[in-house]
Amino acid sequence: GVNFLNKPVKLLGVGATKPIITIAPSFSPGASVITTANSNTSFDNLQIDMPASTGLTGITAALGGQLITNITINGPGADDSKGIVVSDASPRVRTSTINLGSGTSSAVVVESSTSAIIDDVNVTHATNAVSLSSALNFKIRRMKSHSANGVVGLASSGTVSSSVIMPSSISAENSGG
């Protein structure tokens, strides 16, 4: 993947079709397609395709303040993977669509963060729509999720509003049939 380390980065896709960024399936578990650790970073209008591998991440953005907008993450065969991982102060994920594989996949992961904002995110498939760990004062608004689990959290506090969270599959046992 591409690692911008602590450099400020602005990746802006131009045109009617989003530019596609991907990595080879041979990357080891834990690899990210894009990694950054700078609060003056933004990503807009991009598609990230993750190969049918295990344990990959689309975007890892540490040190807070990042703006991640209009991103499509496609990894239907990427089991046990993460779409977008953000941490630290005030990261924002907006107007994005995430489709991941099964296992323990999470569309958006918020770690050790204060005031994370997730707006207008559509999770078409993942085990968890949003995984929170030590996320304080988070706001999730207008999220649509078809994940097995909606928002899961550990030592976290915040609000979820105006969102639709539905399981990705309903068995006959819990559908009334």
111 — pLDDT class (breaks 50, 70, 90): very high
Average of per-residue pLDDT across 50-67: 87
Q: Quote the pLDDT of residue 172.
A: 33
Single pTM value for the model: 0.91
Quick one: pLDDT at residue 170? 37
Confidence of residue 168 (pLDDT cuts 50, 70, 90): low
DSSP string, the chain: -EE-TTS--EEE--SSSPPEEE--TTSPTT-EEEEE--TT-EEEEEEEE--S-SS-EEEEE-SS--EEEEEEEEETT-TT-EEEEEEEE--EEES-EEEE-SSS-EEEEEEEEES-EEES-EEEE-SEEEEEEEEEEEEEES-EE-SSEEEEEES-EEEEES-EE--S---STTTT-
Tens of pLDDT, residue by residue over 14-24, are 988 999 998 87
Give me the pLDDT at residue 173, please: 35
